[in-house]
């Protein structure tokens, strides 16, 4: 540091809270004479023995610091690997937030994620176009898109006040209000008992305790939060505000408060974004999906298979944690104002990792049949065949609609299907077992921040780099078992004569077609390029596989 003392944040797990104001209230000016926005560095206190709640805890600390220093009514949330790509993005969000009719109901405005540094084939489905350009746009017509963790502008009232703000509004309008929710003016909070407007000291004490239970022991933060028009208390000096900002990022500040349970980012899952958005929607707020022509924000994406699978594992583990918690959308929030279709979308968001189990059987049983020469699937009737063919046609039609609505080509759509199989038998499967261990046995699993591409690296240097991870064991094993099953089936057919050769060869051929969607997996090891004409062949092969399996 400038005075020669060592920087206190060298130990990332044990250091005091630190705040450095680079540009304050009377900050510098740019080359055109315009005032520059404030720039404040914040590092919350970390001590051994305290639960820091990872990203959710960091975001809550930033919410409190910003309330003490500036108390702006809106907050922009960006991951560290994202940047602003459209200078008018915030203005786009303000059109919704400040709308006189819609704005008072909006909790956040979500922008789609767009990425730099993805290879032209998008081997690991990083763009996720179907999700961002179809699913979230569809949810915008119900109660709004889910919060995806970055590229989002929040209404501070929805994050911090929730029922308190609405109780204040109801009491001012003379309507019934919850008597347990305190209503303080700024003078009440600064001066204490004088002019509080309560019948006796006991009721005042209970109201003060209620405020401390909700927001924590910071009079300045409470005063700033309850100010209707934003801003900070006019009597507070910069030195007082800075001291209070250090206090609200201390390790023990959130103890015995509603932070992380009812206020701010919600704790209990490594995917705090889904959980936080769900709680807001359950309270009756709605969100907005904003898709300007020029991408609002851009970020980096993992271009290595191992890093991508670890990212998918973290997302899936968070979904399993929510599914097995009290916040599960299957049973939580029925007393609130969450719309049924929105609830269905959240249920789908939390249960999708479980599909790894039937997918594992789907990829394993045919190979076992070939190895044992015992086919467990009986001949089905004509009526059952019609039902299965109808199901296949509906899935096929869904794929066509996804390509049409999202504007993606058949190659990108098929890449998503391929990676779903690879991620399903690896990351999703691990997430299910890790989630069960954490909930039932209390064995916590730590996740690491996903490695992203860097501009300093060569063009897609890491794309062809092989990094071993235990997540590669299940898909590798399945591929080997299926190939051995095909060889065993053909060998058995040759040795058994012409009477069974036709049936066995057909099963082996169908097994190869079934393995075809996972063919990109071994190609990840050598990184060899692939002609674009292969994509059409894959779709045709996969269609034939499903039809032959049903009709055969």
pLDDT in the model for residue 384: 80
pLDDT in the model for residue 196: 38
Asked if residue 54 belongs to a known ligand binding site, the reply is yes
Residue at 235 is within a domain: no
Q: Which tens digits make up the pLDDT trace of 289-307?
A: 999 999 999 998 887 888 8
Domain count, the chain: 1
Q: Which tens digits make up the pLDDT trace of 214-224?
A: 888 888 888 88
Q: In the numeric block, which tokens belong to residue 395?
A: 């899935």
Residue at 543 is within a domain: yes
Strand partners, 77: 152
- DSSP letter, residue 300: E
| DSSP E strands, 316-453 | none
What's the length of the chain?
552
Which carries the bigger pLDDT value, residue 212 or residue 60? 60
Residue at 308 is within a domain: no
The number of beta carbons lying within 10 Å of the beta carbon of residue 341 is: 12
Mean pLDDT (the chain, rounded): 78
Asked if residue 178 belongs to a known ligand binding site, the reply is no
Q: Which domain holds residue 408?
A: 353-551
User: For residues 435 and 317, is the Cβ–Cβ distance under 8 A?
Assistant: yes
Residue at 513 is within a domain: yes
pTM above 0.85, yes or no: no
Looking at mean pLDDT, say which of 19-33, 147-161, 368-382, 401-415 comes out highest: 147-161
* Rg of the Cα atoms in the chain: 28
- Asked whether residue 144 carries a pLDDT value surpassing 80, the answer given is yes
CA distance 342 to 327: 15
CA distance 421 to 518: 7
Asked if residue 293 belongs to a known ligand binding site, the reply is no
pLDDT in the model for residue 501: 52
pLDDT in the model for residue 104: 87
Poorest-confidence range of 307-321, 493-507, 520-534?
520-534
- Asked whether residue 19 carries a pLDDT value surpassing 70, the answer given is yes
Residue at 290 is within a domain: no
Of 135, 136, 134, 121, the closest CA to residue 412 belongs to: 121
The number of beta carbons lying within 10 Å of the beta carbon of residue 130 is: 19
CA distance 454 to 300: 8
Sign of CA dihedral 176, 177, 183, 185: negative
Q: In the numeric block, which tokens belong to residue 52?
A: 């820091």
- Asked whether residue 230 carries a pLDDT value surpassing 60, the answer given is yes
CA distance 488 to 493: 9
- Asked whether residue 178 carries a pLDDT value surpassing 50, the answer given is no
User: What does residue 408 show for φ and ψ, rounded to 5 degrees?
Assistant: -90, 155
Which carries the bigger pLDDT value, residue 459 or residue 318? 318
pLDDT in the model for residue 292: 93
Residue at 533 is within a domain: yes
Residue at 108 is within a domain: no
Confidence grade of residue 150 (pLDDT, cut at 50, 70, 90): very high
Q: In the numeric block, which tokens belong to residue 190?
A: 């600064």
Region 403-410: mean pLDDT is: 81
Residue at 521 is within a domain: yes
Quote the percentage of the chain above a pLDDT of 70.
73
Q: Which tens digits make up the pLDDT trace of 354-399?
A: 999 999 988 888 888 878 877 766 676 788 888 888 988 998 898 8
CA distance 337 to 350: 19
Confidence grade of residue 352 (pLDDT, cut at 50, 70, 90): very high
pLDDT in the model for residue 415: 81
DSSP result, 353-386:
GGGHHHHHHHHHHHHHHHHHT---PPP--HHHHH
pLDDT in the model for residue 108: 95
User: For residues 77 and 150, is the Cβ–Cβ distance under 8 A?
Assistant: yes
| Tokens 């674009």 sit on residue | 532
SS3 content of the chain, % helix, strand, coil (to 5): 55, 10, 40
- Asked whether residue 128 carries a pLDDT value surpassing 50, the answer given is yes
């Amino acid at each position: 540091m400038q005075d020669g003392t060592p920087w206190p944040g060298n130990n990332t797990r044990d250091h005091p809270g630190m705040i450095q104001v680079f540009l304050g209230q009377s900050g510098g000016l740019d080359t055109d004479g315009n005032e520059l926005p404030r720039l404040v560095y914040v590092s919350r206190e970390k001590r051994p023995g305290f639960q820091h709640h990872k990203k959710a805890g960091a975001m809550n600390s930033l919410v409190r610091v910003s309330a003490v220093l500036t108390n702006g009514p809106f907050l922009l949330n960006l991951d560290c690997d994202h940047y602003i790509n459209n200078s008018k993005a915030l203005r786009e969000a303000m059109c919704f937030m400040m709308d006189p009719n819609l704005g008072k109901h909006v909790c956040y405005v979500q922008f789609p994620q767009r990425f730099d540094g993805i290879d032209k084939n998008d081997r690991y489905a990083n763009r996720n176009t179907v999700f961002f350009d179809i699913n979230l746009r569809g949810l915008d017509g119900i109660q709004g898109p889910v919060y995806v963790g970055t590229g989002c502008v929040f209404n501070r009232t929805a994050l911090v006040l929730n029922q308190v703000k609405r109780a204040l509004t109801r009491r001012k309008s003379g309507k019934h209000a919850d008597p347990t929710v305190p209503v303080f003016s700024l003078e009440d909070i600064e001066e204490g008992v004088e002019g509080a407007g309560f019948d006796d000291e006991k009721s005042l004490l209970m109201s003060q305790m209620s405020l401390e239970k909700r927001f924590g022991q910071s009079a300045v933060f409470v005063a700033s939060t309850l100010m209707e028009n934003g801003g900070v208390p006019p009597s507070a000096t910069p030195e007082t505000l800075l001291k209070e900002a250090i206090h609200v990022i201390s390790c023990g500040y959130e103890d015995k408060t509603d932070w992380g349970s009812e206020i701010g980012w919600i704790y209990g899952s490594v995917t705090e974004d889904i959980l936080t958005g769900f709680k807001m929607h359950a309270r009756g707020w709605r969100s907005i999906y904003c898709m300007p022509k020029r991408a609002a924000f851009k970020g980096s994406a993992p271009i290595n298979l191992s890093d991508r699978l670890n990212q998918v594992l973290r997302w899936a583990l968070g979904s399993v944690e929510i599914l097995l918690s009290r916040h599960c959308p299957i049973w939580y929030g029925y007393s609130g104002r969450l719309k049924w279709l929105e609830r269905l979308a959240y249920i789908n968001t939390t249960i999708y990792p479980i599909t790894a189990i039937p997918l594992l059987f789907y990829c394993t049983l045919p190979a076992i049949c070939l190895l044992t020469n015992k086919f467990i699937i009986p001949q089905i009737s004509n009526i059952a065949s019609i039902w299965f063919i109808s199901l296949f046609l509906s899935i096929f039609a869904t794929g066509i609609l996804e390509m049409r609505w999202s504007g993606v080509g058949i190659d990108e759509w098929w890449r998503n299907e391929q990676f779903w199989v690879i991620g399903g038998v690896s990351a999703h499967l691990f997430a299910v077992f890790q989630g069960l261990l954490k909930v039932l046995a209390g064995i916590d699993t730590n996740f690491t921040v996903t490695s992203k591409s860097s501009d300093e690296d060569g063009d897609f240097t890491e794309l062809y780099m092989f990094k071993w991870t235990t997540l590669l064991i299940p898909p590798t094993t399945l591929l080997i078992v299926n190939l051995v099953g095909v060889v065993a089936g053909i060998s058995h057919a040759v040795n058994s004569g012409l009477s069974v050769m036709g049936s066995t060869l057909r099963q082996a051929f169908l097994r190869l077609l079934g393995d075809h969607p996972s063919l990109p997996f071994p190609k990840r090891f050598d990184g060899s390029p692939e002609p674009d004409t292969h994509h059409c062949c894959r779709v045709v092969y996969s269609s034939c596989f499903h039809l032959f399996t049903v009709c055969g």
